[in-house]
Structure 1
Amino acid sequence: MNFEDNMATQSYSLTSLPDEVIVKILSFISQYELIYTIQHINTDMHQLCYAPLLWKSINSIQDLIEEEDDNTKFNMFLRTILLYVEEINIDIDLDLFFTILTNDENMILHNLRKAEIQFVINCPEELEKTFLHLPNIREIKVIFSTAYTDRLPQCIKVLSSLSKLEKLRLIRRGKSLFYQKPYLKDVTNELYNLIVNHPGLQLFSIAGQRFFRSTFKTLLTTCKDLECIKLYNCMLKMADGIVVPLKTSLKSFISIDCKIDDNLVKNLTTSCPNLKKISFDQCQTINDRYLQLIGDNCPLLKDLNLNQ
């Protein structure tokens, strides 16, 4: 029997491969297919679909939910894989997510480090209860609806209790800008509490909020390791003459679609001589005075973006 005949008489299957090779192959398949197709092929594939490597990140819980699916079975599957997840987008009702967690009182997601939350209609109490099960969370992105801006201060208070939090982004959903519609709530005090309770912050990023001189000063004096401030669609209020420390660690200041003035640029450049990147993108009030201040006070600058 020649080689070709020998090959023809042998049968090969995916399950004949080592488990680690199969798991690597499964990592290229969508998580939806793993849940609703692959795990039902046979017992071996069912077990391999629970491999931790396949569930380090979940881009969307909502995309994994099938309307006609048995919620009980799905919740059991989700509860199992959540123990492996390091990064997740919680784009479902927080009450549903909390229910999944609390089916087992001892279910604590120790591996979860990064989360994105669609904070739309949920109560702050649900948020607080949920984070009791996420003790090691390091980075949070909160997307909230303009219609529920009044709940944001309570939301921030909850986030302020997370001792290991390093990065927080607050994103307002919708198209309202500060010069089109007045802000519904001043969250300056809540931002102050958040900053004071998290002196180890390295990145501070907010959107659609007022950014006062007091917030800027608190950031620079409290967060010694702060490297980047990023503001999107924020109302910047900087009065002249504030005193902030020199030689801060801030290396990057990014402002997108914000109204800036001489006082902001003066305080920024004189307080942060280690800046390597400054970006005033889509800012309508750029003038020659800004260039003079930047040139005089930022000797380490490598990246400058002044885009009107």
Structure 2
Amino acid sequence: MDSLPPELILNILSYLPQHDLLVRIRHVSKYWNQLAHAPRLWYKLDVRRSEETTSLYLENIDLLCIHIKHLLTDEEFLVKICNHWTQKPHFKNLRNLDLSSVYLATTSVISDFISECTNLESISVRFDDSILFRDIFKTLSKLSLKDLHINYSGDDVEFLFILEELSRNKYSKTLSIHCNTIQNNTVRFLLGNFQNLKSLDVTSSYLKNDTFMSMQRLFSLNALSLDYTRVNDAGLKLIARNVPNLKFFSVVRCEDISDEGIVNIADNCPFLEQIHICRSYTISGSTLTAIPKGCPRLQRLSVMACAQIDDAGVESLVLKCKRLQVLILNFCIQLTDQSLFSISRFCTTLRKLDISNNGKFTSKGISSLLQSCKWLELLNSASCGGITDLRFPGSRTGIKFSNKTLDNEDTILAKLVTACLVDISVYPGNCYEYIKHSTVLDHFDRHHILCEKKHGIRSRRSCETEKVVTMNQIAKTWNRGSRQTSFAFYLNFQKPLTRYQTNACS
């Protein structure tokens, strides 16, 4: 094995969890163990996990710290680093520090750690106390930061004081704000005084149309989330005029918007790549017709539970959006197989599709989709009662069953799927867990199936089938004598190895 080229070995190691690189590879060979510490495998480290993995990383931090450029951690880990080493590990190559997983409780340790990271370019902090942030900002102001990400959930008045202080200090670096339930005046001040605003998430905040009256033109703003707010079409019209470089836009559960507001956004934001318009009952197929005209770069669209979406709108969308990779259409109850035929014909490069909870789709539409969309990786068709006899093309591999919506998955990179069997005896009978099954097919067509049952796990069975697998066969084999199971189809296709080399750079 040592005779393999080092580049190939590194590619193999890139698929392994970082924990295994420290624990298991040492038993393979000294050469492999040496390569397991290569910089490309450790440029990103996430220590927000179990106590066991955290302890392992602490033991090896002296060897790893020089390679780490992106560190996702919490305050406790930094405290351990400072307390356990008389000579602190030097993260001289650290560029991005993410502390947003937990609320900050103290400032001294974090300030000391940050002051040692002389090349730090971006930091994410989460807090609910304005005094803590002021203390940390004194240290941050001494660094050459490019990006500052603030996640705040405290008092609205205190947050306004923070913004006013940043404005007085003429903070000119890129700023990203995530804050819930802040008031109209705070958002108005933010939009009117920070031209360097890069990302803004004001989910569940109290907003009026006059919030956007004094909004300046924000050329750097590329992500805007207005989920669960009372913004309406007039507000969207004001926003559309001032965010020409917007790439991400979300208005989930904004019940006061209609086609007019979304059309204004689409017409004025030509660089949009992701749009989320979930649970807006006045949105119709007219929106899907307008989006491709103004947003040719669109890659991801979610119109979950937009009941007025129709087949004509879907056809207009896929006909012109050639870069579309993720499409969420679950609970769009007016759609029929005609939408699937349109996707099969005009959007063959689609990677992920969610059409769950619609009884009008049939096996014919799904089969057409599987035959034409060669790059499709994930397909969710849970609770589609019309799909009764599904035939899988022989070239497909890695089919999974689950009823999760795809809307929570932000990444669109390919993922390796490994087949394994899990002993369900370790789970209680009433739990809500996943069980992986492997059907016995021929050498070229092995399907790995993940089955989730609503009412607990009852039994595990394996079945021998032909290449053509039907939903009825699966249901009879796995669900005999138990309650109804909701299925979704997750497909992973065989591609060249290079397409999956994403673990080391994600």
- Pick the TM interval, shorter chain: 0.5 to 0.7
Offset at residue 270 of structure 1 (A):
4.8
- Paired AA for residue 14 in structure 2: S
Superposition TM-score, scaled by structure 1 size: 0.67
Whole-Å separation in 2 of the counterparts to 1:61 and 1:79: 19
| One-letter amino acid matched to 1:200 | K
Distance 1:132 1:264, change over 3 A: farther
In the alignment, the residues of structure 2 paired with residue 228 and residue 265 of structure 1 have an alpha-carbon distance, to the nearest angstrom, of 17
What residue is the counterpart of 2:97 in the other structure? 115
Question: Separation in 1 of the partners of 2:32 and 2:249?
Answer: 51
> What's the secondary structure of 1:187's corresponding residue?
helix
Give the drift of 1:167.
4.5
Q: Which has the higher helix share?
A: 1
The one of 113, 123, 137 aligned to 1:140: 123
Partner Cα separation in structure 1 for residue 113 and residue 208 of structure 2: 35
CA contact (8 A) 2:251 2:277 kept: yes
Query: Which has the bigger relative contact order, CA under 8 A and spacing at least 6?
Result: 1
**Alignment map for 1:69-218 (pairs within 5 Å):** 75-91=58-74, 93=76, 94-99=78-83, 103-105=86-88, 107-117=89-99, 118-120=101-103, 122-143=105-126, 149-150=128-129, 152-155=130-133, 157-159=135-137, 160-161=140-141, 162-170=143-151, 183=155, 186-194=158-166, 198-201=171-174, 204-210=176-182, 211-218=186-193
State the secondary structure of the residue aligned to 2:226: strand
The equivalent of 2:333 in structure 1 is none
Matches within 5 A, 1:198-277: 198-201=171-174, 204-210=176-182, 211-220=186-195, 223=196, 226=197, 228-236=199-207, 239=210, 243-246=214-217, 248-250=219-221, 252-260=223-231, 264-265=235-236, 267-272=238-243
Aligned-pair identity (%): 19
Q: Is the 8 A contact 2:123 2:148 kept in 1?
A: yes
2:136 alignment partner, SS class: helix
AA aligned to 1:188 is: L
Return the letter of the residue paired with 2:187.
Answer: F
Runs of 4+ in 1 over 6 A off after TM superposition: none
Distance 2:126 2:212 in 1: 35
Shift in Å at residue 193 of structure 1? 3.8
Instruction: Compute the displacement of 1:287 (Å).
Output: 6.2
Equivalent of 1:50, from 22, 26, 37?
37
CA drift of 1:20 comes to 3.7
Indicate conservation of the 8 Å contact 1:31/1:64, yes or no. Answer: no
How many positions carry a matched residue from both structures? Answer: 267
Name whichever structure is richer in strand by fraction: 1
* Structure 1 residues without counterparts, runs of 5 or longer: 1-13, 173-181
